[in-house]
A and B are shown apart, each in its own frame.
Chain A
């Protein structure tokens, strides 16, 4: 600790603190334009000048180390005089203008120093760059403090903007001094949030912010903290702020978290319960809607399935599965994990006994090697991609395994471009290299695993020569990847994968071959290492934890007598004792009559299921469908009752992110109209159905609120037992397992042991590459995935104007050689046809895809959606459909 005096007041600071820290501790009004409170000092604006007894000149407080006995004055006449000169020079850079709103912090500081008007005029004039959809760059309000350049370059590691040129001709700009829209800018808005003068500002009229509420982003599984800002008019501001104290996001956000929460105000938001009469929606009251829904569901008990939502809260999901199991007496409850990571989860459960990411995001930054397989994190998990880039900046090796040239390839040390569907051959060959070269972790294998010898035997055919032939990857690259992964230059290795691994008919084999690699190299269970299936939805981890899966009860409890008894004691009703049907089976069941009624919460299967024409036919057969959501989407069109739910910003609860961190979701706004929180709707529905079937559920569905629901879930789930809303409010997000209230949470799993004791090597075989391969009629391979600027099928993001401007139409990525043959250029209209359906879009000619392959995002833009084309053929073990490969043909449209 150091003790010093500032303006006559004593202040005590920790070693390493600056004088500015002391000034701010005392709340003194010293200007500090270039100092972002959460970043290292830049020392550029020179406005925090102070006087220190015994020191020459007027040092800048922001980078002046605090020392014992220092006597500092912010009010010393010399400091004030020099500071006001600097403020004068700073003000003189700017051109006043009505929209510029007083230049933020600078205006305030200048007024305090009696400098409302500068004594000289600006040396330069600049045009406004308004080429971006969400914000603009107004250089005439820019003081060149450099905070935006740090935000872009050091924080987000994008490097789109920088200070161009030198001396007084310096300006903020992009490479080549073009428009921001033509740069590599990803619209993350980190620069806008830190700008002290409003030179970078959101494109919306200035509004007074009446309050900010810390909550959790509703988009992907990274789980970034956001500070929702509410205007005086009671709406969310266009731009949300980041939350530097959030341990998962460290003050970062991507374009969606920062600018795309406005969908809650969409004009077509449904705010009244609806019942369908004579094929038309009729607005009704809650009682009538719930009674109609309860009547229908009660009628079809026994032929019922429920789809919970990975976008809703843990509490919401927990109630949906409780309703299915307790009232509807079925384990036919599932959610979208089936369509993304079920092979990963099944494989991890078999091999280790837990289906979660083993490490934390911080481990990516500490790792010496990152191997990213079949994942386009820059588009789908942008803030995790930042942490990859930081690792690379710190010297870590980055291996990208992907048939498509994803953005991460630009930073990779090694890009392995295997033929689609040949992953097992690749990873088995890597495992052989690790063993043949003695790079494996023998002690780990001996002490912590089973099945090693049988597995080793199964690798016999996977020589480098074989793998090179099958995968098309040069043998030396495979060997190099194996060496780096097994023995990184420092620390450990993290293995990260996405849908490119799982959405195949051989998904579970792919997953096993990856897990085996991590086991043989011993790259898990310590800092800087681990295995990470990147979760797509904001709460896909939590939805599974809460029991919205047919294979397990909450907390992944098995259907064995002891656990069934435990749940019976808690719920008053014994849950069914055998596994239920997964979503794809429920949908198939619609056609056979096994499924007659469904309750679909916050999901839009008629955009996300494969082979949509087929799925549409199936949903059309349902006798009764209840949809609970924000919007009347494709699935809702088939519903009989629509229950309008509250959005993420209108309710209390928790989300659990990809690193197992349980985080609070808070009420920022009241739900619009009659919309209600999901948990309330589900509880009401459960009580009404129970009454109709004569089931006494007592007070099982009477909750005071989400906190009470969480408490019940935590009591039944040992790895959540130490958590509660109150604790999360107090301490911020906590990573499970957290078994007791004094447990700090768990950064990484498997440090000592695996849930199943020893981990198991499970041999993986290279089977056929895909269920449907190209042929003469359908000569191209269609690959699907997501975009940075749209979320999933686009139900939310199509309602955000700025995102539509960034990605307005469906683009079909096609290799130049194929484009030449078809005679198309970028922008040409194309029709893509598979055996199941077709779509039209616009060609984007790029070498990012392989010759013979095209990529179409599955977002629905202008009536076209990729999933009309995809194949419902599924991995037999995990039932995941093969979204990543199907055969199509292309036609040029005039």
Chain B
């Protein structure tokens, strides 16, 4: 098992306090970063191979370097804490148990991108994380860590999954309906309030202080060739010990389920696993010897996404599981693009019909046809995300669906 980096303080009772964070070396990275040139910080993060841990896996240092150097107006740092991907709850742990790691990471990041203002967009349902994080922000202001060239605004979402999409989040932050924006321009060029904006996930930024403190090489060495560091896996569903586990991205899905989460519960017999949040294609029981990194899961036709692992044992009905997801997508589609808005509505209706026992076998082909043709046609990746489950659940477990259909 890899070294514990992100969850290093979770065992302390006072890990969420400034004193507790300082007692374990908190804010020393920020002290060090203050002596570094902004470009040097970005360079260090680039060398560390840190990649975005919110879902898309984009190289973090490279994202920072897209901010125009010649821009004279404000540059914003926005933290995406709208953790809404089904089966994902790692950011919640960070906000509750180590909020200062995020604040310190933001201070360093802001220095790298020359930002004087950061926003933390917290999922509306995350009341406790919001309270704890806001308390930490207040303490950081009182201690003079914030308010001296960098400010943090904590903003609460209002219950829309789409606001976790970075441009949907920015629209919402601007006070508009949380609709994703047309790209280009990308946020780094024209983001929040029309100014260059870096949007990063909570966990991603929490990695920054250790990188500065212990060096890019050390961090890169924790991971694989293409992705440095460790990451937090949310493991839920039919396992003996559901929870958040930190490990390298070289860990396999089997290790996560058996070594970390104590193995399959209920019938004890694995049926399927969702490896990377609701939008990742489902894997069957014999596909779990796979490394939990971008390439490994891509090879299996799925994705690491937000590293939310949902385990299903033999007693779980796959059509019912798809119904839950289809309802979710039909409800959460923002309604902006026709293919997504209409298809998610229609597919939910059809899956519902099948689960209710009124479906026909050719409904399955209709769903597959609609799903496949709508891919790549929309403003954001929401619908592409929905397609993964629609197709994989039906193709891999077609028999289960057909058994529910009228002949």
Contact = CB atoms under 8 A, between A and B. Distances in A.
Interface string B348-382: 01000000000000000000001001111111000
Contacts of B333: 166-168
A166 B335 contact: yes
A146 B341 CA distance: 13
A144 B346 contact: no
A89 B343 contact: yes
B373 A90 contact: no
Chain A's interface: helix, strand, loop or mixed, by majority?
loop
B330 interface: yes
Contacts of A723: none
Contact of B342 (A63, A82, A93): A93
B184 interface: yes
B242 interface: no
B377 A58 contact: yes
B152 interface: no
B181 to A, nearest CB: 9
Nearest to B330: A167
B335 A86 contact: no
A90 B370 CA distance: 13
Contacts of A42: 182
Nearest to A65: B184
Interface stretch (A43-51, A629-637, A862-870): A43-51
Contact of A46 (B162, B177, B337): B337
B377 A82 contact: yes
Contacts of A168: 330, 333, 335, 341-342, 344-345
A58 B372 CA distance: 12
A779 interface: no
Nearest to B335: A170
Interface in A52-83: 56-60, 63, 65, 81-82
B119 to A, nearest CB: 19
A86 B377 CA distance: 9
A44 B349 contact: no
A329 interface: no
Given A92-B342, A123-B346, A170-B341, A44 B336 contact: yes
A69 to B, nearest CB: 18
Contacts of A166: 160, 162, 331-335
A709 B332 CA distance: 65
A322 B252 CA distance: 95
A46 B384 CA distance: 14
Contacts of B379: 43-44
A43 B337 contact: yes
A47 B338 CA distance: 9
A49 B377 contact: yes
B373 A82 contact: yes
Of the candidates B160, B346, B373, the one having the most CB atoms from chain A within 10 angstroms of its own CB is B373
Nearest to A166: B335
A146 B181 CA distance: 14
A165 B339 contact: no
Contact of A144 (B160, B182, B335): B335
B182 A41 contact: yes
B191 to A, nearest CB: 17
A43 B177 CA distance: 16
Interface residues of A, number: 36
Given A43-B182, A43-B379, A58-B377, A167 B338 contact: no
Contacts of B177: 162-163
A463 interface: no
Nearest to A162: B177
Interface residues of B, number: 30
Interface string B103-117: 000000000000000
Nearest to B183: A63
Interface string B168-187: 00000000010000101000
A775 B349 CA distance: 72
A678 B331 CA distance: 63
B407 to A, nearest CB: 22
Nearest to A47: B338
Interface string B280-314: 00000000000000000000000000000000000
Given A43-B337, A168-B342, A168-B344, A123 B373 contact: no
A43 B337 CA distance: 7
Contacts of B335: 144, 163, 165-170
A167 B337 contact: no
B25 to A, nearest CB: 44
Interface string A475-512: 00000000000000000000000000000000000000
B334 A167 contact: yes
Contacts of B349: 123
Interface in B318-334: 330-334
A46 B334 contact: no
A60 B184 contact: no
Contacts of B184: 65
B338 A90 contact: yes
A92 B343 CA distance: 11
B342 A57 contact: no
A600 to B, nearest CB: 53
Of the candidates A86, A90, A146, A163, the one having the most CB atoms from chain B within 10 angstroms of its own CB is A86
Of the candidates B160, B184, B338, the one having the most CB atoms from chain A within 10 angstroms of its own CB is B338
B377 A90 contact: no
Of the candidates B182, B330, B346, the one having the most CB atoms from chain A within 10 angstroms of its own CB is B182
Interface in B49-97: none
A57 B338 contact: no
A57 B341 CA distance: 19
B160 to A, nearest CB: 7
B338 A86 contact: yes
Contacts of B370: 85, 89
A238 interface: no
B86 to A, nearest CB: 16
Given A46-B339, A85-B339, A170-B341, A120 B346 contact: yes
A110 interface: no
Interface string A126-161: 000000000000000001101000000000000000
Interface string A559-594: 000000000000000000000000000000000000
Contacts of B376: 56-59
Contacts of B162: 166
Contacts of A167: 330-335, 341, 344-345
Given A44-B337, A165-B335, A167-B335, A85 B345 contact: no
B6 to A, nearest CB: 33
Nearest to B349: A123
A59 B334 CA distance: 19
A63 B330 contact: no
Nearest to B180: A43
A116 B312 CA distance: 44
Interface in B141-181: 160, 162, 177
A46 B378 contact: yes
B377 A44 contact: no
Interface in B367-407: 370, 373-379
Contacts of A90: 338, 342
B338 A123 contact: no
A129 to B, nearest CB: 19
Contacts of B330: 167-168
Of the candidates B331, B334, B339, B375, the one having the most CB atoms from chain A within 10 angstroms of its own CB is B339
28 contacts: A42-B182, A43-B182, A44-B336, A44-B338, A47-B338, A56-B376, A57-B377, A59-B376, A82-B374, A82-B377, A85-B373, A85-B374, A86-B339, A93-B342, A120-B346, A123-B349, A163-B177, A163-B335, A166-B331, A167-B331, A167-B333, A167-B334, A167-B341, A168-B330, A168-B335, A168-B341, A168-B342, A170-B341
Given A92-B342, A166-B333, A167-B333, 6 more contacts: A43-B379, A46-B377, A58-B377, A82-B377, A166-B160, A167-B330
4 closest A-B pairs by CB: A57-B376, A168-B345, A170-B335, A89-B342
Interface of B: 160, 162, 177, 182, 184, 330-339, 341-346, 349, 370, 373-379
